[in-house]
């Protein structure tokens, strides 16, 4: 029997007519019900076959004396396919009060008979009497109303075994709260009709519930991350609500995005950047793959290409401005420590003796330019790497170190950092690309660029977002990883949010700084993961098995969004215009470039 006929059965019976499938075909009419209906139905005592699907309906038969708030939440948020219907039939208060009067008299009579016989007091009768009296008072004072409530659940599956598993899970959750359900045996047809959105309670299995416990079912309590301000991150896959959030409303403004290659992490980040720029927030990106160039161009930002042959240079000896709560000595000392860390990376590791020599040489190099803790060096031009090399070469024990630095001052890598800074970050959106930098130099370049950005951030406080894509490059060295953690901890003081993105989840978590960076981030975004890293992630984020498999089976742009103590399954969605600006799909990029070239030829 087709579902069209099934839904119209009662109506046609009243008209003493029968509509056969061939009648619908011959009439050449097609309605919405015909389109969505399965080809056939099969009704059995325990289930209903809807084409390729099997559906089984249950009803609640018993509730506990008290219903706690959110008791239905575990069912609503269950990662299964099911439908729920709640039918609420008001009961006339005058009618129910007359019934209560008789019931109270019966219970009083039973209590009196037990007292006359000298029997021990029955707590069940006493409790029933107190509950009835309390409810009767509330009904008389119009503080409560009474309803006949039917709660029905229909679950779907491919096989009976799958249905049995879901049934067992739902029963165990509800029975742990003393709520008991039963399948609608020999009433599956009526049960299904009661659950589909027609508003007909054909099952009619109701329990009398007053207003207060009834309110514990409503509204459906579902995971929600919608606030009254912030940007749209995506769609909540639990309930199709919007995930609207403001990272600057949390205890810190940092985020971490972990995903495998091709899962949409850069797409998600670029979408957040595009929407963040609308809210008077400056955005700075360290781009290792030149993915943000078109976004910078489209939004009127600045794009700096940092490479050996680039015209853009950053001098690591630049000093940050001195703040009101800082002294020249502390600023100089901090920068010297950072430079020692940089040379440790550049030289491939140094001994404690070499560490002390480099520290002394940096101090003397600054002193040659009259930059000392006692002087105001805010307007003094800082030294270059070649100046440091000369000082180092003249020190006892520094000849070998100076020789190792030659490739950065006179050799193949001389054009990289041995020049004055000529980068001006005077736009709301700034991108530093290190794609064209050799892989061996990328950690060094990212370290220098990040230090330069940090000095600019400290210069004047503004709402800013710093995005470090492919952060696993910085996790390769202890000094760069340590500095990244320092940014995560200190950024809030300067209104800076740090967004760390990586596809190499295992290497990121293996670093002693990986987990602290995650714990110092109020927002974590987990997109599609590889089987090799999912167990480590499950342990780190305390994921359930359902969440684990959700991450393994997610499509591009789908995953789990953590914000503070809440988390939801999310799907990232962009408008057509946003998609054209932020896409990382090579085929789309080629199509856009071709369209631009065609337009250029026409004009």
Q: How confident is the model at residue 190 (pLDDT cuts 50, 70, 90)?
A: very high
Q: How confident is the model at residue 11 (pLDDT cuts 50, 70, 90)?
A: very low
CATH number of domain containing 68? 3.30.70
Q: Kindly state whether residue 547 falls inside one of the protein's structural domains.
A: yes
Question: What Cα–Cα distance (Å) separates residue 533 from each residue in 340, 560, 562?
Answer: 34, 15, 18
pLDDT value at 153 more than 90: yes
Stretch 137-159: mean pLDDT: 86
Q: 86, 154 in Cβ contact below 8 A?
A: no
Q: 454, 334 in Cβ contact below 8 A?
A: no
Task: Looking at the structure, tell me whether residues 587 and 560 fall in a common domain.
Answer: yes
Task: Looking at the structure, tell me whether residues 437 and 294 fall in a common domain.
Answer: yes
DSSP tag of 292: S
Q: How confident is the model at residue 446 (pLDDT cuts 50, 70, 90)?
A: confident
Q: Kindly state whether residue 390 falls inside one of the protein's structural domains.
A: yes
Q: Which of 409, 432, 459 is a domain's end point?
A: 409
CA 592 to CA 596: how far, in whole Å? 6
Q: How confident is the model at residue 438 (pLDDT cuts 50, 70, 90)?
A: confident
Q: Kindly state whether residue 219 falls inside one of the protein's structural domains.
A: no
Residue 89 backbone phi and psi in degrees, to 5 = -110, 110
Task: Looking at the structure, tell me whether residues 236 and 202 fall in a common domain.
Answer: no
Q: Which of 379, 409, 439 is a domain's end point?
A: 409
Q: When comparing pLDDT for 580 and 106, which is higher?
A: 580
Task: Looking at the structure, tell me whether residues 139 and 264 fall in a common domain.
Answer: no
Stretch 106-118: mean pLDDT: 80
Torsion over CA: 244, 250, 253, 254 (sign): negative
pLDDT value at position 144?
82
CA 444 to CA 134: how far, in whole Å? 75
Task: Looking at the structure, tell me whether residues 175 and 47 fall in a common domain.
Answer: yes
pLDDT value at 278 more than 60: yes
Q: Kindly state whether residue 396 falls inside one of the protein's structural domains.
A: yes
Q: Kindly state whether residue 260 falls inside one of the protein's structural domains.
A: yes
CA 26 to CA 3: how far, in whole Å? 17
Q: 306, 451 in Cβ contact below 8 A?
A: no
pLDDT value at position 24?
54
Task: Looking at the structure, tell me whether residues 68 and 171 fall in a common domain.
Answer: yes
pLDDT value at position 18?
53
Task: Looking at the structure, tell me whether residues 444 and 498 fall in a common domain.
Answer: yes
Task: Looking at the structure, tell me whether residues 365 and 465 fall in a common domain.
Answer: no
In the chain, how many domains are there?
5
Question: What Cα–Cα distance (Å) separates residue 219 from each residue in 72, 222, 296?
Answer: 10, 9, 44
Stretch 470-495: mean pLDDT: 86
Q: Which of 387, 409, 431 is a domain's end point?
A: 409
Q: Which residues of 32-61 are buried (b: 16+ CB within 10 A; e: fewer)?
A: eeeeebeeebeeeebbbebeeebbbbbbbe
Nearest to 503 by CA among 539, 546, 532: 532
Task: Looking at the structure, tell me whether residues 237 and 300 fall in a common domain.
Answer: yes
Q: How confident is the model at residue 10 (pLDDT cuts 50, 70, 90)?
A: very low
Q: How many CB atoms lie within 10 A of CB 102?
A: 8
pLDDT value at position 171?
93
Tell me: the pLDDT tens digits for 296-328? Answer: 988 899 999 888 888 888 889 988 877 777 788
Task: Looking at the structure, tell me whether residues 192 and 49 fall in a common domain.
Answer: yes
**Three-state secondary structure along 81-139?**
CEEEEEEEEECCHHHHHHHHHHHHHHHHHHHHHHHHCCCCCCHHHHHHHHHHHHHHHHH
Q: Kindly state whether residue 494 falls inside one of the protein's structural domains.
A: yes
By CB atoms closer than 10 A (0-12, 13-18, 19+), residue 526 is buried
Instruction: Quote the mean pLDDT of the chain.
Output: 84
pLDDT value at position 322?
78
pLDDT value at 361 more than 80: yes
pLDDT value at position 3?
45
Task: Looking at the structure, tell me whether residues 351 and 487 fall in a common domain.
Answer: no
Task: Looking at the structure, tell me whether residues 379 and 256 fall in a common domain.
Answer: no
Domain of residue 282, residue span: 232-314+422-602
Q: Kindly state whether residue 417 falls inside one of the protein's structural domains.
A: no
pLDDT value at position 13?
46
Stretch 113-133: mean pLDDT: 78
CATH number of domain containing 503? 3.40.50.300
Stretch 143-149: mean pLDDT: 86
Q: How confident is the model at residue 527 (pLDDT cuts 50, 70, 90)?
A: very high
Q: Kindly state whether residue 320 falls inside one of the protein's structural domains.
A: no
pLDDT value at 584 more than 50: yes
Q: Which residues touch 588 (CB under 8 Å, ≥6 apart)?
A: 579, 580
> Angle at the Cα of 283 (from 280 to 285), degrees rounded to 5?
170
pLDDT value at position 9?
47
Torsion on CA atoms 138, 140, 142, 143, rounded to nearest 10? -10
Tell me: the pLDDT tens digits for 37-73? Answer: 777 788 999 999 988 889 999 999 999 988 877 788 8
Stretch 115-144: mean pLDDT: 77
């Amino acid at each position: 029997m087709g579902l069209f006929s099934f839904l119209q059965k009662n109506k046609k019976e009243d008209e003493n007519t029968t509509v056969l499938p061939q009648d619908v075909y011959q009439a050449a009419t097609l309605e919405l019900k015909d389109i969505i209906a399965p080809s056939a139905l099969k009704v059995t005592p325990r289930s209903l076959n809807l084409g390729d699907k099997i559906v089984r309906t249950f009803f609640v038969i018993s509730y506990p004396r008290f219903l706690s708030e959110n008791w239905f939440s575990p069912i609503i948020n269950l990662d299964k396919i099911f439908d729920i219907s709640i039918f609420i039939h008001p009961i006339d208060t005058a009618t129910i009060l007359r019934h209560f009067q008789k019931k109270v008299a019966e219970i009083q009579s039973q209590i009196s008979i037990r007292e006359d016989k000298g029997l021990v007091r029955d707590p069940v009768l006493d409790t029933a009497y107190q509950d009835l009296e309390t409810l009767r008072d509330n009904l008389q004072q119009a503080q409560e109303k009474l309803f006949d409530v039917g709660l029905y659940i229909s679950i779907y599956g491919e096989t009976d075994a799958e249905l049995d598993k879901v049934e067992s899970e739902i029963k165990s959750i509800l029975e742990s709260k003393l709520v008991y359900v039963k399948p609608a045996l020999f009433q599956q047809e009526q049960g299904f009709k009661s659950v589909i959105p027609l508003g007909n309670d054909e099952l009619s299995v109701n329990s009398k519930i007053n207003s207060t416990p009834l309110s514990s079912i409503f509204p459906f309590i579902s995971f929600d991350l919608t606030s009254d301000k912030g940007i749209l991150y995506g769609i909540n896959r639990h309930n199709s609500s919007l995930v609207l959030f403001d990272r600057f409303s949390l205890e810190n403004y940092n985020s971490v995005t972990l995903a495998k290659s091709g899962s949409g992490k850069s797409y998600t980040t670029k979408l957040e950047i595009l929407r963040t720029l609308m809210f008077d927030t400056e955005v700075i990106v360290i781009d290792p793959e030149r993915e943000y160039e078109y976004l910078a161009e489209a939004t009127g930002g600045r794009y700096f290409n940092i490479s050996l042959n680039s015209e853009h240079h950053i001098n690591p000896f630049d000093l940050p401005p001195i703040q009101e709560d800082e002294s020249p000595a502390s600023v100089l000392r901090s920068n010297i420590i950072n430079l020692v860390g940089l040379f440790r990376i550049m030289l491939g590791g140094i001994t404690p003796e070499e560490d002390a020599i480099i520290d002394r040489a940096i101090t003397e190099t600054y002193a040659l330019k009259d930059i000392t803790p006692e002087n105001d060096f805010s307007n003094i031009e800082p030294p270059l790497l070649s100046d440091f090399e000369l000082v180092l070469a003249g020190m006892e024990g520094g000849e070998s170190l100076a020789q190792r630095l030659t490739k950065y001052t006179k050799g193949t890598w001389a054009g990289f950092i041995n020049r004055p800074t000529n980068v001006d970050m005077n736009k709301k959106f700034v991108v530093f690309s290190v794609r064209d930098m050799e892989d061996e130099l990328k950690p060094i370049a990212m370290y220098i660029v990040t230090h330069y950005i940090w000095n600019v951030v400290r210069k004047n406080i503004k709402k800013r977002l710093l995005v470090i894509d492919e952060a696993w490059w910085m996790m390769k060295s202890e000094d760069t990883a340590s500095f990244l953690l320092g940014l995560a901890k200190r950024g809030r003081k300067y209104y800076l949010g740090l967004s760390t993105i990586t596809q190499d989840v295992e290497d990121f978590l293996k670093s002693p700084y990986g987990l602290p960076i995650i714990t110092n981030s109020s927002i974590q975004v987990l997109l599609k993961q590889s089987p090799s890293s999912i167990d480590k992630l499950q342990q780190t984020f305390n994921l359930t098995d359902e969440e684990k498999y959700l991450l393994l089976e997610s499509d591009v742009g789908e995953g789990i969004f953590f914000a503070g103590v809440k988390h939801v399954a999310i799907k990232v969605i962009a408008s057509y215009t946003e998609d054209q600006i932020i896409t990382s799909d090579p085929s789309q990029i080629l199509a856009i470039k071709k369209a631009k070239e065609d337009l250029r030829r026409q004009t």
